[in-house]
Amino acid sequence: MKAIQPTINHHIPTTRGLPRPIRSQHELLFDTHRSLKTPNPATRLAQSLTHMLHLQIESIHTQKTITQSNFSSILEDKSNTPISSPKEDISDIWQELHGSNDWDTLLDPLHPSLKQELLKYGEFAQATYDAFDFDHYSEYCGSCKYNRNKLFEKLGLTRHGYNVTKYIYATSQIDLPQWLEKSQVAETWSMHSNWMGYIGVSDDEESKRIGRRDIVVAWRGTVSASEWYEDFQRNLERFGHGDAKVEEGFLSIYTTKLQSSRYNKTSASEQVMKELARLIHLYKKRGEKVSLTITGHSLGGALALLNAYEAAATFANLPVNVISFAAPRVGNSGFRDELHELGVKTLRVVVKQDIVPWTPGMVFNEKLINEKLQNFDEITGGLEWVYTHAGVELKLDARSSPYLKRGLQLLGHHMLETYLHLLDGYESSKVPFRKDARRDIALVNKECDMLINEFRIPPRWYQAANKGLVQNAHGRWVKPKRDPEDIPSPNNESVSYNEMKHVLGY
């Protein structure tokens, strides 16, 4: 039987050899389920664009395969080793690792202790996805599945030696379609807010190892690359008192408060800044050295930068470090310059093949191409000056890992777990992926389909048994009530006085 070849009925003028049919960005990113053996028009377009933008994406046909025989031994070795190396005392060099010298000489080759720290913060950012309730049939959709005292235990992150002190919620005053995860159930925990991250602090033992009390803020990104990627092509808004301007969508999520809401009577910014003030005051009073590390992936990386700007402007002499993964551009050159003047140290971890760090400013959605732009210089050149990246870049190459599928993987190249895998295997730009990389490779496939088939790890495997349904006493499959202690409550989101001693080492 002849294969049916769909054609697309929207065409754009042929300019500079650009393939003619074009599809929406959303379709592009979610095409990962399809076979890529025969490039469809969307794939061809994306390939052409990425070529133009010097994104290094190989054809799927050039994939080097791992043979079954040598693969079995790799698999055997991997599954019988711990998932991380022993921790080392970094109390003497924490300032350098925290960016005091802009990571000069630490990135290529990558300092092993810096790598461990980056993986730690990356896992803190990943926790915001892993614990998020994406179930649209749940009345708690958009909240964290666990209360903050359980979060790290549930996700296997207690080994990092941090405690969560507060959850952050956000809303937005401007209409950002598909930003907010909303329950389809009428009587929901919140109509307006989503869990957007958390604040944590290193415990005594970890503080000793890392040479200071470290406060971490982890910001959640959006589920998929495409959502805000399409939507956040908006105006710049003034931020602070100088020339700094930032993208209005990011700013709205960071600063919107809504009196009618339960979780955002204060904005995400106010929630974070209040908790930071409390924690900094607490530990400074005790004479401790304190640092602030803000992390986030994708949209979360953008929010981290806004948060860092505000914190550095508010708390004098506080070392502020942003570790972002796959973050988009956030603001103009004024914003970049002020961040620099405020002493914010930003390390942006970026995968070469990921398109998101090119946004906003690198726009190739259908509407803009059709209506506004006649050639791509206007995209790559024309908008570049508006949005500017801040800080130092650590660039990773998806092709370096022998365990990843090749070819166009728009979603897979953007996922944080892919970033962490590549970071784990990275030693320098000159040597191959390290053989003794210890992080669990199976994690890469949590939410995408990036591992080569030899691993036998199913794609998108991170899921609850029976999508959370359980059998009740009558044998019926029902959605269980959430454990009362995990039900969000606007009055129970930060550490109480009674908990202080235990959680904060007070």
Residues noted as catalytic: 298, 354, 414
State which of residues 37, 54, 285, 474 lies at the interface with a copy of itself (CB under 8 A).
Answer: 474
Is residue 9 within the footprint of a copy of itself (CB under 8 A)? yes
Contacts with a copy of itself: how many residues (CB under 8 A)? 54
Q: Distance (Å, rounded) from C-alpha 308 to C-alpha 168?
A: 15
Cis? peptide before 21, omega within 30° of 0: no
Phi–psi pair at 187, nearest 5 degrees: -90, 80
3-state secondary structure of 123: helix
Is residue 35 within the footprint of a copy of itself (CB under 8 A)? no
Q: Which is nearer to a copy of itself, 367 or 502 (CB)?
A: 367
Is residue 27 within the footprint of a copy of itself (CB under 8 A)? yes
- Calculate ∠ Cα 394-399-403, nearest 5°: 110
State which of residues 68, 73, 259, 260 lies at the interface with a copy of itself (CB under 8 A).
Answer: 68
CB 246 within 8 Å of CB 262: no
Select the span of 125-133, 142-150, 398-406, 469-477 touching a copy of itself (CB under 8 A): 469-477
State which of residues 59, 158, 463, 492 lies at the interface with a copy of itself (CB under 8 A).
Answer: 463
Q: Site mask, a copy of itself, residues 439-458, x = CB under 8 A?
A: -x-xx---------x--xxx
Cis? peptide before 39, omega within 30° of 0: no
Q: Distance (Å, rounded) from C-alpha 357 to C-alpha 344?
A: 19
Min CB(347)–a copy of itself separation in Å: 26
Is residue 5 within the footprint of a copy of itself (CB under 8 A)? yes
Is residue 506 within the footprint of a copy of itself (CB under 8 A)? no
State which of residues 476, 484, 498, 501 lies at the interface with a copy of itself (CB under 8 A).
Answer: 476
DSSP-derived secondary structure letter, 489: -
Q: Distance (Å, rounded) from C-alpha 348 to C-alpha 328?
A: 10
State which of residues 13, 112, 156, 242 lies at the interface with a copy of itself (CB under 8 A).
Answer: 156
Phi–psi pair at 37, nearest 5 degrees: -65, -45
Q: Which is nearer to a copy of itself, 186 or 316 (CB)?
A: 186
Select the span of 164-172, 219-227, 365-373, 414-422 touching a copy of itself (CB under 8 A): 365-373
> 164: closest CA among 146, 145, 148, 144?
148
Which residue's entry shows tokens 């993208």? 247
Q: What is the CA radius of gyration of the chain?
A: 23
**Ordered DSSP codes for 345-365:** EEEEEEETT-SGGGTTT----
Q: Which is nearer to a copy of itself, 394 or 457 (CB)?
A: 457
How far lies 359's CA from each of 154, 180, 384, 386, in Å?
34, 20, 10, 11
Q: How close are the terminal C-alpha atoms of the chain, in Å? A: 73
Cis? peptide before 109, omega within 30° of 0: yes
Is residue 484 within the footprint of a copy of itself (CB under 8 A)? no
**Tell me, what amino acid is at 369?**
I
435-400-30-301 Cα dihedral, nearest 10 degrees: 90
Min CB(159)–a copy of itself separation in Å: 9
Is residue 45 within the footprint of a copy of itself (CB under 8 A)? no
Phi–psi pair at 167, nearest 5 degrees: -100, 150
The sign of the dihedral angle between the CA atoms of 227, 229, 230, 234 is positive
The sign of the dihedral angle between the CA atoms of 207, 209, 214, 219 is negative
Please list the alpha-helical segments (H only) found in 216-298: 225-231, 248-255, 268-285
308-333 as b/e: b if 16+ CB within 10 A: bbbbbbebeebbbbbbbbbbbbbbbe
Residues 165-224 interacting with a copy of itself (rule: CB under 8 A): 184-186
Select the span of 58-66, 135-143, 144-152, 404-412 touching a copy of itself (CB under 8 A): 135-143
State which of residues 1, 73, 436, 484 lies at the interface with a copy of itself (CB under 8 A).
Answer: 1
State which of residues 277, 431, 464, 500 lies at the interface with a copy of itself (CB under 8 A).
Answer: 464
Q: Which is nearer to a copy of itself, 6 or 287 (CB)?
A: 6
Min CB(139)–a copy of itself separation in Å: 8
Is residue 17 within the footprint of a copy of itself (CB under 8 A)? no
Residues 309-348 interacting with a copy of itself (rule: CB under 8 A): none
Q: Which is nearer to a copy of itself, 6 or 484 (CB)?
A: 6
CB 259 within 8 Å of CB 183: no
Q: Which is nearer to a copy of itself, 156 or 242 (CB)?
A: 156
Select the span of 8-16, 165-173, 343-351, 399-407 touching a copy of itself (CB under 8 A): 8-16
CB 503 within 8 Å of CB 163: yes
Min CB(264)–a copy of itself separation in Å: 26
Q: Distance (Å, rounded) from C-alpha 338 to C-alpha 410?
A: 33
Is residue 475 within the footprint of a copy of itself (CB under 8 A)? yes
Q: Site mask, a copy of itself, residues 73-112, x = CB under 8 A?
A: -----xxxxxx-----------------------------
Min CB(505)–a copy of itself separation in Å: 26
In the complex, the residues that contact a copy of itself under the rule CB under 8 A are 1-2, 4-10, 23-24, 27, 68, 78-83, 135, 137-138, 156, 184-186, 365-367, 440, 442-443, 453, 456-458, 460-469, 471-472, 474-479
